[in-house]
Amino acid sequence: MSRTAAVPVLTIDGPSGSGKGTISRRVAEHLGWRLLDSGALYRAVGYAAGAAGLDLSDVEAVTRCAQTTKIRFQASADGSDTHILVNGHDATAELRTETAGAAASAIASIAPVRQALVELQLGFRKQPGLVADGRDMGTVIFPDAPFKVFLTASAAERAKRRYKQLKEKGLSVTLSSLQREIEARDHRDASRSVAPLKPAPEAVLVDTTGMGIDEVVAKVLAVVQP
C-alpha cells in the first residue's frame, strides 16, 4: 500500500496512552514532516455513526457511514492546534473523549470500514515526509516505511497519564476505571482479526514507562537521524 515509495515515512504505533500523538506531533514538527493521526479517522467514523443513531455492530450501515463521512483536518487560526471537522461540524473536543475512543475501537474491527479509510491515509504521504501514528501504520498501511517505532508503557503508567490529562481538563474520572477502559481497548485492538495492534517485526520498540516526553522524542528522532 505505498502511493509514493520515494517519500519517507516514520510510523509510530502503540496502545492507547503510550504517547503516540504527543511524540508524533513533536517529531513531525522537528523534522518539518506532515502528520497523520489515523486514530482521529476511526474516532470520526465512530462519532458520525453515533450521531446518525447507528448500531455500531451493524456492519453494512457503519461501512456506508465510513464511505460517506467527510473528515477534514484544519489548522487553528494561530497554527498551534488542529481541528477535526466531521461532515462540516467541528468535533475536535467530542472526538478526544474516552467514549469516542471506545466507539472508534469498536468500528475499527470491521474490515470494510478499515478499507474505506485506506486511500485517505495513503494520501498523507507527501514530501518532505510523513509521521503516521496509529495501530497498523507499520504493519498494514505503510509496510514499506523506512522508519518504524512501536511505543509502549505499562497500563498503570498510561492510565496515570490519561488521568492527569483529563483532570487538567476538569473532568471527573477515577484512575481505576481509566485503567480498566485502557486495558479493555488494548485487548480489543490487539485481538481483532483484521490489522491488529502489534509491532512490525522491524519496528524499534520504545518502552516509555518512567521516561519523560523530551527523552522519548530524542529516542524516536534517533531512529530517523541516527
Ligand X SMILES: Nc1ccn([C@H]2C[C@H](O)[C@@H](COP(=O)(O)O)O2)c(=O)n1
Q: Residues at the annotated binding site for ATP?
A: 14-22
The distance of closest approach from Cβ of residue 214 to ligand X in the complex, given in angstroms and rounded to an integer, is 22
The residue among 39 and 138 lying less far from ligand ATP, judged by its C-beta, is 39
Piece of 36-44, 67-75, 171-179, 199-207 that binds ligand X (CB under 6 A): 36-44
Piece of 3-11, 37-45, 63-71, 204-212 that binds ligand X (CB under 6 A): 37-45
The residue among 31 and 104 lying less far from ligand X, judged by its C-beta, is 104
For the chain, how big is the Rg over CA atoms in Å? Answer: 17
For ligand ATP, the binding residues (CB under 6 A) are: 14, 16-22, 39, 101, 161-162, 165, 208, 211-213, 216
* From the list ligand X, ligand ATP, none, partner contacted by residue 208 (C-beta under 5 to 8 A by kind): ligand ATP
Quick one: three-class SS letters along the chain?
A: CCCCCCCCEEEEECCCCCCHHHHHHHHHHHHCCEEEEHHHHHHHHHHHHHHCCCCCCCHHHHHHHHHHCCEEEEECCCCCCEEEEECCEECHHHHCCHHHHHHHHHHCCCHHHHHHCHHHHHCCCCCCCEEEEECCHHHHHCCCCCEEEEEECCHHHHHHHHHHHHHHCCCCCCHHHHHHHHHHHHHHHHHCCCCCCCCCCCCEEEECCCCCHHHHHHHHHHHHCC
Distances (CA, A) of 202 to 36, 150, 198, 199: 21, 10, 11, 8
Q: Which of positions 129-188 make contact with ligand X (CB under 6 A)?
A: 134-136, 185
Piece of 50-58, 97-105, 167-175, 209-217 that binds ligand X (CB under 6 A): 97-105
The distance of closest approach from Cβ of residue 226 to ligand X in the complex, given in angstroms and rounded to an integer, is 26
Strands lying side by side in the sheet with 130-134 = 34-37, 130-134, 9-13, 147-152, 204-207
Q: Which of positions 101-130 make contact with ligand X (CB under 6 A)?
A: 101, 104-105, 108
The distance of closest approach from Cβ of residue 15 to ligand X in the complex, given in angstroms and rounded to an integer, is 8
Feature table: binding site: 14-22
* From the list ligand X, ligand ATP, none, partner contacted by residue 189 (C-beta under 5 to 8 A by kind): ligand X
* From the list ligand ATP, ligand X, none, partner contacted by residue 18 (C-beta under 5 to 8 A by kind): ligand ATP
Evaluate whether 67 touches 59 at the Cβ level (below 8 Å): no
* From the list ligand X, ligand ATP, none, partner contacted by residue 104 (C-beta under 5 to 8 A by kind): ligand X
Q: Where do contacts with ligand X occur on this chain (CB under 6 A)?
A: 16, 38-39, 42-43, 101, 104-105, 108, 134-136, 185, 189
